[in-house]
Structure formats: C-alpha cells, structure tokens
Amino acid sequence: MGGFFGVASEKDCVFDLFFGTDYHSHLGTRRAGMAVYDREDGFAKAIHKIENAPFRTKFDKEATSMHGSYGIGSISDFEPQPIMVHSHHGTFAVTTVGKINNVDELEKEILEHNSHFFVMSNGNINPTELVAALINQKENFIEGIRYALSVIDGSLSLLVLTERGIYAGRDAQGRTPIVIGKKDGAYCAAFESCAFANLGYSMVRELKPGEIVVFDEKSFNSLYCPENPRMKICTFLWIYYGYPSSSYEGISVEKMRYRCGEALAHRDHIKPDIVVGVPDSGTAHAIGYSNAAGIPFSRPLIKYTPTWPRSFMPTMQQNRDLIAKMKLIAVPDLIKGMSMVVIDDSIVRGTQLRETAEFLFQSGATEVHVRPACPPLLFGCKYLNFSRSKSEMELIARRVIAELEGTEDVSKEVLKEYSNPDSERYNKMVDRICQKLNFTTLRYHRLDDMVAAVGIDPDKLCTYCWNGEE
C-alpha cells in the first residue's frame, strides 16, 4: 500500500509536511520521501528506507534542513518516491498510490517516443516514474494527469508538486481516497483525514472519483470532474488498513468497525466468557461485538507499543511470523480457564492466527472461537500494492479450495460458489480451514452484513478480493 500528504502554505510548510506524512505511516513499511518547493531555492527532495526505523526518526534531519512553501510526502510499500523530473512542464515532483497492471504496455508506448526509464534495484521500472512520463505525454498538467488516470489498468491516485501549486488526482474509480483540508494561510491534501486535526486543518471535502484539483496557499479549485463516474472504493480501508480516526465517503472507520462487530454478534449463538480483538485492527470490531452481545471485552493480548508503533513486516516468511508473534504479549491471568471469541480483521495465510490460537490454548484457554471481520479472501487484490500476500495460492481459502477440488486450477464459477455463504462448498471450505487452524469454531463475516456495516451504496464498494466481482 502507500499514502501521501501534500501542503501549500504561506509560511514554511515543512512542519506540516513532516507530521502530515508521518500520519500515513501505517500505510507502508518500505520507503518514504518528501519533496518541497521554495520560491528562492527551488526544489529539494529526500527519500529514505523506513524498513527498520519509523518515518519521524529517518526524516529528523530534513524536518529542520528542508524549507519551502509547497511540499508533498510519501509513505510507500514498494517504489521510492516522490519522483522529481524536468520536462516541457518545467520541474515537478510526483507521488502516487495504487497499482499499475499494464506497465509493459505503457512503457512500450512511451519508449516509442525516444524516452528512457531508470530501473530500480529489482530491475523493474519505478511505477511513479512511469506516471510522470505519462503526464509528460500531454500539453499541460490537467491533460497529462487525466491521461495517466485514464490509461492505467489497476488504480492510481496522485499528487503533483509544481512551482505554481499542487495538483491532486483521485483514482478514476475512487479506489483510494483523497481529502482536501484547509486552515488560515494553507491548504492540504491527504489520503487519511486523521492527518488534519492535530495540524489545525478542517476538512473541505473529499475528491470525487477521477476528479483533478489544484491548490496553493490561497485557494483550491476543481479542474476536472467526470460526470457520473463509476465508484469502487476499497472496502478493506474500513475493515483493516485505514486509520481508525479517519473517515472515507463520510463514514468513520472506527464506527464502521463497531457496526461490523455488532453484525458478527447478531449472527452468533455462542456465549463465551470474553471477547478478544487481535490488536490493533481487530480491536474495534471486537468492541462492537462485545457491546452487541453483552459479553465483556478483554485484552489478553497486548501489543508492545513502545518499539512497535507500526506494522513492521519483513519480507522473509520465517521472520514475518516470528516478528508478528513477538509484538504481542499475553496477560496469562485473562486467559486461564476462559472461553473466548477472538476477532481479527481477516485471515490471509492463517499462520499468525493459528499460532495465536495455539498459544491461547497452551495458556489455558478452554475455547477459542474465531470470527474474522470479513469473508474468506479468495482473490488477490488487483488494484493496490499490498505486501500481505504475493500470490492467490498463499491465501488459506484458496489452498483449502485446491485441496477440496484436487486442483489449483479452479473455474470462476466454482470460486463463485465458494464465496456464497449459503452454499455447501462454502461450508466445507470453512470447516476445513477451522480444522487446519485448530480453532474451536470458525465463522466468517458475511459479505452482505459487512457491506451493510459500511453503509454506502453497495455498488460503490470494491469487494473483488472476496467475491471476484470487478
């Protein structure tokens, strides 16, 4: 994933840029960057790895050495950015969030016009550089950004820093959000609205799908807004990776998670002693469940927050599981002799939740009933660069389906049946997952309940990773 923040201010913008970008740290774990424009000194840029130290530590020096009135910052799970280029548009910097599936096709098209690309250390071209090259194909920024948003297969939201202000363009299907904020003498744009309050910004509005705006320290203007765009905002924003204090399409993440937990409780007939949320993203769902079921919420698993402020995820599988386990510390007195319902945001590979359940049993739990806050994940996300799983066959639901069907090559129709909670195939799959992970019982959220918990028109929500519908 990734996130960004941009600010235009009549004063120096770096303080706001530094903290505004830092408030997106939960969205990425690999690279971060800031680019600024100062009327006297021009452009400056810094990029650091944030794999082993948080953004604030890595950019401590730049927070005092950089200066300028306009700036954009990025948190990224993939490519180093912002990218700074010089073209017929002048010098500009760009940062992006999304995933480009047709890189080869677009690259070929651009190379026909005698351009070139730098390659990253893995040999791939930097997708954000590709976006800069697409913007350069057209006469001006508006047309260039429109072009980039329209030719990309996948998703793309972006910020472009120029000498005259900052352009923001939201993905054509609104897969990821952009929200505009304002305070005296400054405007900003963010992925997460939670970045506003402590910096003194109030929300102006969210961009529409495909909308392009420009802002400087004095004003904010919409430059292009498609009529009746097809909205498909990512539902996983509310379920898992969005920040609890943010809202998207006017829907609070934290409140949605309470409703999600409530709906899980309403379908349940078990009466365990306690309700447990796997920190952090399972917690709010568990509070909702606990309130609706009238069963006490308890914290037998507590995240060691002083040095685990964010989701540090090394890429090696062995370390990944080990580290995920090490950041949670148990409270044995709250586990011994207890039956519990354990709520996590989702089950991806299942390894971590299996180990958590195993640990709870070893610590004296009598029953561990697992209730993920979303349906089984059956399809890999095509729209966002998630680092959580690399291939669909890493998803436990797909591995179990392959076992049950005797092949990994399963048709769309059969997968569709597995996504239907009223089908026999679905029940067999859930039983097998429960067996494999050694839970007392397992019951996933239903897609219709989860979508109702968001509360916007279901047609406007992307649910591809659960039902394969585009």
Note the residues at the interface with ligand SF4 (CB under 6 A).
175, 234-236, 381, 383-384, 462-465
Query: Closer to ligand SF4 at the Cβ: 234 or 353?
Result: 234
Query: Closer to ligand SF4 at the Cβ: 272 or 282?
Result: 282
Edge-first strand order for the sheet with 202-206 is: 42-49, 31-38, 70-76, 2-9, 186-190, 179-183, 202-206
Q: What's the CA dihedral at 300, 303, 304, 308 to 10 degrees? A: 170
**Burial grade of 87 (CB within 10 A; 0-12, 13-18, 19 or more):** middle
Q: Tell me how far, at minimum, the Cβ of 218 lies from ligand SF4, in Å.
A: 35
Q: Please state, in angstroms and rounded to a whole number, the distance separating the CA atoms of residues 166 and 141.
A: 10
Q: Please state, in angstroms and rounded to a whole number, the distance separating the CA atoms of residues 134 and 453.
A: 38
Query: Closer to ligand SF4 at the Cβ: 231 or 295?
Result: 231
Q: Please state, in angstroms and rounded to a whole number, the distance separating the CA atoms of residues 417 and 12.
A: 56
Q: Please state, in angstroms and rounded to a whole number, the distance separating the CA atoms of residues 337 and 248.
A: 41
Pairing state between β 367-370 and 179-183: unpaired
Q: Tell me how far, at minimum, the Cβ of 392 lies from ligand SF4, in Å.
A: 12
Q: Tell me how far, at minimum, the Cβ of 460 lies from ligand SF4, in Å.
A: 12
Query: Closer to ligand SF4 at the Cβ: 37 or 418?
Result: 418
Please give the DSSP secondary-structure letter assigned to residue 374: S
Q: Tell me how far, at minimum, the Cβ of 381 lies from ligand SF4, in Å.
A: 3
Residue (of 263, 251, 296) closest to 277 by Cα position: 296
Q: Tell me how far, at minimum, the Cβ of 276 lies from ligand SF4, in Å.
A: 25
Query: Closer to ligand SF4 at the Cβ: 133 or 253?
Result: 253
Query: Closer to ligand SF4 at the Cβ: 289 or 464?
Result: 464
DSSP H/E element including 426: helix 424-437
Contact 375, 422 (CB under 8 A): no
Query: Closer to ligand SF4 at the Cβ: 165 or 209?
Result: 209
Contacts of the segment 143-152: beta carbons below 8 A, 24+ positions apart: 144/89, 145/169, 145/212, 146/212, 146/224, 149/210, 149/212, 151/102, 151/106, 152/98, 152/100, 152/102, 152/106
Query: Closer to ligand SF4 at the Cβ: 148 or 239?
Result: 239
Give, in degrees to the nearest 5, the angle at Cα 309 between 306 and 312.
Answer: 120
Query: Closer to ligand SF4 at the Cβ: 311 or 463?
Result: 463
Contact 32, 74 (CB under 8 A): yes
Q: Tell me how far, at minimum, the Cβ of 149 lies from ligand SF4, in Å.
A: 16
Q: Tell me how far, at minimum, the Cβ of 382 lies from ligand SF4, in Å.
A: 6
Contact 343, 299 (CB under 8 A): no
Q: Tell me how far, at minimum, the Cβ of 397 lies from ligand SF4, in Å.
A: 14
Query: Closer to ligand SF4 at the Cβ: 99 or 182?
Result: 99
- The secondary structure of the chain in percent helix, strand, coil, rounded to multiples of 5, reads 35, 25, 40
Q: Tell me how far, at minimum, the Cβ of 199 lies from ligand SF4, in Å.
A: 27
Q: Please state, in angstroms and rounded to a whole number, the distance separating the CA atoms of residues 24 and 115.
A: 33
Q: Write the CB contacts of 114 (distance below 8 Å, at least 6 apart in sequence).
A: none
Q: Tell me how far, at minimum, the Cβ of 23 lies from ligand SF4, in Å.
A: 21
